[in-house]
Amino acid sequence: MTAALGRGAGRRLRLLCLHGMYQDAATFSVKTKHLRGFSADVDFVFLDGPFTIVPPILARQSKRPSESKRVRCAKKKNEFRAWWRPLGVHQDDPSNLDEDRDVLVTFLREKLDEVGDVDGVVGFSQGASLAAWMCSEQARDELQWSPKLAVLVGGYLGSPQYALDSGILPDIASLHVFGSNDYVISAAKSQQVVDLFKQHETLENRVLTSVHTQGHVIPKCDASLELFESFLTIQQQKLLGSSSISSSTSSEIDEREELSPSEALASQRVA
């Protein structure tokens, strides 16, 4: 587990950061560096997934080593992490998914107790899928905790063990970011998650969407970054009463409080 910033003397917005499959806390910290550049008042807490898995291409070449065709990788095999092991490449028995789930839930309970006050989650790919589940009523009952805000990048609906059938908690503000040219997790799959969250959208906790033109990445385009910054600033003021919020953002909040949920969503959507 790594923290991008220390807790400091005062209370800051604290976000649990969940990496994608085949990543780890250190990798995700590097990949989100551009997001954290303007978030000096936010504490990002990065976790390593509880499972170690090896990318298929590395697993194949370890069985049949060939210098001419080897994929060079500086990472050690135990640095490729996951929140659960998907069926197919990494396991064949569906019952193992239930065992993985038990391990993951216990792991999350322990980490949440260890890190202390956490306000929200930021997830990428498989981490975003997990973050979406953590916003559900079922997760709240099992973890005895739920986020107040969520940022899901390249998200999708996970395996049945992490279904959102219990419903999304209505008191969670969410920002969903995905790429129209993502060929790993299609925009349509990410939109499915957005649609489920929208079913529980309120004026107080809106569902925001930023669709960029990049692939399966943490985007660096101005529109997505500006919405991310605005979203965190608004949540920081709402949850902690931060005085660092700009006057322009404050006026935007006042204006949006007068809008219906659908109008508020339209005013912040990035196409």
Q: How many CA atoms lie within 13 A of 115 on its CB side?
A: 25
Check residue 72 and give its pLDDT: 46
Long-range contacts of 194-201 (CB under 8 A, 24+ apart): 196/132, 196/157, 196/164, 196/168, 197/132, 197/135, 197/168, 199/167, 199/168, 200/167, 200/168, 200/169, 200/170, 201/170, 201/261, 201/265
- The alpha carbon of residue 152 and the mean position of all alpha carbons in its chain are separated, in whole angstroms, by 4
What total of structural domains would you count in the chain? 1
Q: Which domain holds residue 55?
A: 2-268
Check residue 90 and give its pLDDT: 64
In CATH, what number is assigned to the domain containing residue 105?
3.40.50.1820
| Averaged pLDDT, groups of 10, the chain, 271 residues long | 51 94 95 84 95 74 50 57 84 83 97 96 98 97 97 95 93 96 97 96 90 95 93 92 49 41 38 31
Instruction: Print burial letters for 174-206: b (CB count within 10 Å at least 16), e (below 16).
Output: bbbbbbeebeebbbebbbebbebbbebbeeebb
